[in-house]
Chains A and B, each alone.
Chain A
Amino acid sequence: MPGKSRRDFLKSSALIGAGITGLSSSSAKATPKNILSPDRMGVLVDTTVCVGCRNCEWACKDAHGLPAGDLESYENRKILEQKRRPDPSALTVINEYSPGKYSNLPVDVKVQCMHCDHPACVSACIVGAFTKEENGSVIWDTGKCIGCRYCMVACPFQIPTFEYDKAINPLITKCDFCFDRTKEGKLPACVDICPVEALTYGPRMELVMIARDRIRRNPDRYINHIFGEAEVGGTSWLYLASKDFNDLGFPELGKDPAPGVSESIQHGIFAYFVPPASLYALLGGMMWLSKRRKELEQEEKI
């Protein structure tokens, strides 16, 4: 019954086509919350003011329920001799570098998640666990995370860390911009404790103005670069410094958002499922034609 099977073929192909296009309307929205609010908050870190007291490290641990020890132990500056990175036991760390042009004191740099305007982690996470919230915080839902560590591969600042030594419930960790504190109207713990006001919390737009103003008024103190104003499309955390950021442990990055290229490729391949559905139809057509040809050949033989 070649005639019947061909009808079946067309019918089922049409059904599948309809199914695939039906899917597209719902899955087009299947992306995590990623808000770029004009009122998003940020922090301006003035590395020319920071004295490297590491009080912020203590306050951060304290606010996140991590073992913090007593504040006095942080006066020991020996640890600053090595370059550290945030890890599951410390979401922010201070690193020390040789003096810049402004004074002959060493330069201290606070390191934590930059809370990007176009976060690579939010774009990458396979289950959409990462979100960028209205107030600028980039946070994540531990309950969704499958531990694939793609967020770590994606982050241009190499920020998310993972608990490799846990067999059950290993966590992705990073700075969460004190999301629970700011929700209640409190300052982020590090900003709150900083004794010299090296950290300024406020709307990102205003912080950019403040930073520009400081550079204009003290051209001897600062280099003319606000790190995070343009890098990877902008970040909520901004830095001022007295020497080149490349010499302060910052990565050299362009101005394009990190997820830009991959997302446009992804959406190109999947534009409302049209390309895959047309490929399906094309292959179906080829299959039908080649089958038909074979059948004709066979009939001729008989």
Chain B
Amino acid sequence: MNHEGLNPVPLKRKFFTPGVIVLCILALNAVVFLAIRFLFGLGAVTNLNDQYPWGLWIGVDVAAGVALAAGGFTTAALGHVMHREEYAAVIRPALLTAMLGYTFVAFGVFVDIGRWYYIWHPLIMWNGNSALFEVGICVIIYLAVLYIEFLPIITERFIGKVNLPGILSKLNKIVDKILRLLDRGLSKTMFIFIIAGVVLSTLHQSSLGTLMVIAGAKMHPLWQTPILPLLFLLSAIAVGFPMVIFESLIASRSLNLKPEMHILSKLGAMMAPLLGLYLAFKIGDMFIRETFVYLTEPNTASVMFTVEILFGVVIPLRMLLSQRVLRSPALLFTAATLVVAGVLLNRINNFIVAYTPPYAIESYFPAIGEISVTVGFVAMLVLLYRFFAIYFPIVSLPGKPATQAAKYTVKGVK
């Protein structure tokens, strides 16, 4: 197959800019707090306690991280499973986000669990009744799948260009051979991993919702519902494309590229029905369980719930129904950002705001250390994204016809 005009190339840019230096400082700040956490325990940097065992790190780094990396599986489903080649240009950036996103989800879990050196235990100690076990196993396997899906980008970057320094240069030929073999093997089997990635994603995106079901009455009734897994899955699917749009527009701004509006508008048009479906279930659930009564009590929960629905779902949904919004980069960016922020807020609400333990003394608010680590992880993620976009063939430049690149674009789905 030949993608006209599709040609992912390493972008030749300077890595360091003033913005990048700020990100580096934020990342270093996180490293300091992480060092304290590993030397003196969770209590030294977090506000977690016996009343609030889970906080910002689980709510944002893990739960929201998984949701916002959903672009990886939704674009894979669209581009590979449904074979819509016109979207090929966004698949690699979305794959990169998902790979980095899940890597940081794993880091997030690693720093949050008290006995991090036992992080491998769930691999051999199973509890099929535990939603957390299911999330854990699916995330581990999916992370491996994402790395495999990413491998062709690495082989493509180095095939024919292996150039080891000094004495190692004797190995150049062999390494090149290995890369070529790997590449050929991968391109024959890649479809297995692509489908597995989509299945694993639907599984753990929904099980992430099951997590809080067992907390029962400890969770505010505005959010506690047996259909939480469905709501989590639908919102993850709905946030996949907005996240791709959000990133693509930011990346084209910071890397000085023309925004790919012809693809992004089409993705934007698909957002409305997906958001609508999510909203329908969310509102339907509220009426069936008659939880709207809680909205009349003015407190944090009712305010947060209203903000989440209004700004995260209703307003962007209305915006996306207009052609003018779909065609304007600025307006489309606004709508996509609202959806992304809405899902982020939803995960924070589910895991932190809604959690009301019976014997709470004071309510939880994240400590400076927790916020620093979360912000630092985001900074590291952006830095790595920039690194890969500059040195690896991720972003497609419009215009140049594909030559050999076409062979590598969509492995195994030829």
Which A residues form the contact surface with B (CB < 8 A)?
A: 2, 5, 8-9, 12-13, 16, 27-32, 83, 85, 87, 120, 123-129, 144-150, 152-154, 156-158, 161-167, 169-170, 249, 251-254, 258-259, 261-263, 265-266, 269-270, 276, 279-280, 283-284, 286-287, 290-291, 293-294
Contacts and interface: CB of A to CB of B under 8 A. Distances in A.
A249 B206 CA distance: 35
Interface stretch (B80-88, B170-178, B268-276, B373-381): B80-88
Nearest to A172: B114
B414 A5 contact: yes
B127 interface: yes
Contact of B213 (A162, A163, A265, A269): A265
Interface stretch (B8-16, B48-56, B154-162, B383-391): B48-56
Interface stretch (B33-41, B333-341, B399-407): B33-41
B144 interface: no
A147 B129 contact: no
A87 B188 CA distance: 56
Contacts of B212: 153
Interface in B195-248: 195-196, 198-199, 202-203, 206-207, 210-218, 226, 229
B188 A294 contact: no
Given A27-B126, A261-B213, A262-B210, A145 B118 contact: yes
Contacts of B121: 126-127, 144, 146
A136 B213 CA distance: 25
B5 to A, nearest CB: 18
Q: Which 3 A-B pairs have the closest CB atoms?
A: A147-B114, A164-B43, A30-B126
B19 interface: no
B6 to A, nearest CB: 15
B131 to A, nearest CB: 6
B137 to A, nearest CB: 9
Contact of B128 (A30, A145, A149, A158): A30
Contact of B82 (A154, A162, A276, A286): A286
Given A126-B136, A148-B114, A262-B214, 13 more contacts: A27-B128, A31-B129, A87-B50, A144-B125, A147-B115, A150-B211, A153-B54, A163-B114, A167-B41, A266-B128, A276-B203, A279-B199, A283-B198
B42 A170 contact: yes
Contact of A164 (B41, B188, B203): B41
6 contacts: A5-B188, A146-B114, A158-B358, A162-B50, A253-B216, A262-B213
A263 B129 contact: yes
A8 B355 CA distance: 49
B126 A251 contact: no
Given A156-B218, A266-B129, A286-B81, A280 B199 contact: yes
A293 B84 CA distance: 11
A144 B119 CA distance: 10
Contact of A287 (B80, B125, B130, B215): B80
- Identify which of B44, B119, B213 gathers the most chain A CB atoms within 10 Å of its CB: B213
Main secondary structure of the interface of B (DSSP, over half): helix
Interface in B57-101: 77, 80-83, 85
Contacts of B206: 269
Which size class do B's interface residues fall under? 35 or more
A280 B191 contact: no
B383 to A, nearest CB: 28
Contacts of A169: 115
Contacts of B414: 2, 5
Contacts of A123: 129-130, 214
B83 A126 contact: no
B132 A149 contact: no
B217 A261 contact: no
A100 B300 CA distance: 35
A146 B113 contact: yes
A280 B196 contact: yes
A265 B53 contact: no
B293 interface: no
Contact of B50 (A124, A161, A284): A161
Contact of A145 (B112, B115, B126, B203): B115
Contacts of B131: 124, 262, 265-266
A286 B84 CA distance: 12
Contact of A259 (B49, B80, B129, B188): B129
Contact of B113 (A87, A147, A286): A147
Contact of A16 (B50, B192, B213, B217): B192
B409 interface: no
Interface centre among B50, B77, B191 (most CB of A within 10 A): B50
Contact of A126 (B43, B130, B226): B130
Contact of B207 (A154, A167, A266): A266
Given A170-B41, A265-B229, A294-B83, A120 B50 contact: no
